[in-house]
Structure 1
Amino acid sequence: MLSNWSPSQYLKFEDHRTRPAIDLLARVIADDPQSVTDIGCGPGNSTEILVDRFPSANVTGLDSSPTMVEAAQKRLPEQGFEIGDVVRWKPKSQQDVLFANAVLQWVPDHRSLFPRLLSHLKPGGTLAVQMPDNLNEPTHAGMRLLARDARWTDKLKDAEGERTSILSSSEYWTVLKQHAPNVDVWRTTYHHPLRGLNGIVEWFKGTGLIPYLRRLSEPEQADFLEDYRELLSKHYPMMGDGTVLLPFPRLFVVARLQAG
């Protein structure tokens, strides 16, 4: 059973997971950038679209998971990757673009984090961020509800705290506008067609369920996931062909500094 970050589990839904990164990159204005960092690069799918968009740039991937960095390096052997925590990370030189797709929801204190990331940019540089905004969706409310079950409440009492409650659109705009004249914030809900309830379970085994599953034994994981499927069945109806649509809201933030 899965208990930690797994490139293969994550990439079961590569097309769906990469689409928001493509949409985010489409809103990045950058004229011939020389230095680009993919923060939370995962297995390299987001890094790849950055390399394609900016072929003359030095594109680097950063991730805290050694297994993800290893997978990214195999995918893009010509690119540079490093293992690191964005909270303590500081680039060797200022960057033209910082790209963070579906990662900063795991990092706390965004009121300090986002200005610090802006400080790593050159004049005219761009910070582009996409974060799941789904903590109130049945998928995540169900995780929290099950975590309070007496069978494993002691083991899971700290699991919820691994994921950050992100700020509102207006709060991000206010924080960033103090440092960047050009700020764009928007929210999109994707509807991902998956194969039944197991499709939803497999999706979140690669992300949101990890803090819960890694704290449980294999028999406990099986029981947890069985109950999780039952909770999901109340909210995600199956269509005639076996498809279940997973509504997935995401928040996008793009901030561009004043050019020098």
Structure 2
Amino acid sequence: MSRQAAAVWDPAQYGVFGDERARPSADLVARLGDTAPARVADLGCGSGELTATLAARWPGAVIEALDSSPEMIARTREREIPGRLDFRVADVTTWLPERPVDLIVSNAVLQWIPGHAELLPRWADALTPGGRLAFQVPGNHDAPSHVILRELGRSDRWRRKLGALQRDAPVLGPAGYLDLLTRHGCAVDAWETTYTQVLHGDDPVLEWVKGTALRPVLSALDPGETDEFLGAYREALRQAYPAAPYGTVYPFRRIFVIATTP
């Protein structure tokens, strides 16, 4: 996950619902098939759990993993493999490899980067011939959880502090990414999936969003304001996602792209 937004990231909170968050990444990598890359870059690696699965899948690969959050990178040290898997704090928007890589993987990063459509061709240019760029991003910005968050942030009460943080369409759709990267000369496989998840616990949708979309908001508010904001948001989420006896249904749409260079 990217840490490009001005937010303090909480690895523990992000780890809540960790299995559900990991599923799109696993599906993306599974779509790569029997490829055997020698050099891999994981851009926006978060706390490194998913990067470690790449190292296990391709034991002969050298993997460079980076994230802009010191809090997240601090959690990766036990997963480092000298000479094979290296983690570091860095900005994915300025990253360039020392030499071309065979595979770039990026999970839940691009939604944090305004203008990332200009970044993707540069990443493609960092690949070896026949190399692949594989990424996935959330496509649920029209879901009630995110619409309510934007409307609340733009309300008279919160506009001054939070209005500038609200973005209506932070990602393209599958067709948009296909068009962008095909025009750049790549062969593109783009698709979307909606995971119809059942979340458990008290106010589980709020707990889910606390790990991602709420982070910039929480970083912008002082403690008293945070309690007030979360109180209003919590009540709206309860109305939008009523609990059932078996849990709370939270549809989770994801957008996937694999672009292969000529």
Give the shorter-chain TM-score range: over 0.9
1:44 aligns with 2:20: no
Aligned-partner SS, 1:55: coil
TM-score by length of structure 1 reads 0.92
C-alpha deviations, 1:41-91, integer Å up to 9, x for none? 001122012111111100121101011111122344542012111111111
Deviation (angstroms), 1:137: 0.6
Deviations 1:232-258 (Å, cap 9, x if unpaired)? 1222121113x1011110100001112
Aligned length: 254
The unaligned stretches of length 5 or more in structure 2 are 1-6
Q: Which residue of 1 aligns with 2:165?
A: 159
If the length of structure 2 is used for normalisation, what is the TM-score?
Answer: 0.91
Q: Structure 1: how far apart are the matches of 2:106 and 2:239?
A: 33
Matches within 5 A, 1:57-206: 57-76=61-80, 78=82, 79-161=85-167, 165-196=170-201, 198-206=203-211
1:89-118 per-residue CA deviation (whole Å, 9 max, x = no partner) reads 111111100000111111122331111110
* Deviations, residues 123-178 of structure 1 (Å, cap 9, x unaligned): 110000100011111011111111123333211121114x8621122221111112
1:196/1:238 contact within 8 Å kept: no
Q: Which amino acid aligns with 2:204?
A: G
What are the Cα deviations for residues 12-58 of structure 1, in whole angstroms up to 9, with x where unaligned? 22111111000000111463311101111001122012111111100
Distance 1:152 1:181 in 2: 43
Q: Is the deviation greater in 64-73 or in 247-256?
A: 64-73
Q: Does 1:13 align with 2:17?
A: yes
Q: Specify the SS of the correspondent of 1:149.
A: coil
For residue 196 of structure 1, report the CA deviation from its aligned partner: 4.6
Structure 1 residues 76 and 19, CA, compared in 2 at 3 Å: closer, same or farther? farther
- Confirm whether residue 229 of structure 1 aligns to residue 234 of structure 2: yes
Amino acid at match of 2:19: D
* Matches of 1:165 and 1:232, distance apart in 2: 21
Q: Distance in 2 between matches of 1:59 and 1:30?
A: 17
Residue 197 of structure 1 deviates from its aligned partner by 5.4
Give the counterpart letter for 1:130 in structure 2: Q
CA distance in 1, matches of 2:238, 2:35: 48
- Asked whether the equivalents of residues 182 and 256 of structure 1 are also in contact (C-alpha less than 8 Å), the reply is yes
Q: How much has 1:181 moved relative to structure 2?
A: 4.2
Residue 179 (structure 1) shift: 3.0
Unaligned 5+ segments in structure 1 are none
Question: What is the Cα-based RMSD across aligned positions, in Å?
Answer: 1.7
What is the identity percentage for the equivalent residue pairs of Structure 1 and Structure 2? 41
| Aligned-partner Cα distance in 2 for 1:120–1:181 | 13
Taking the aligned partners of 1:248 and 1:76, their CA distance within structure 2 comes to 31
Which residue identity does 2:243 align to in structure 1? M
User: Does residue 1:257 correspond to 2:261, yes or no?
Assistant: yes
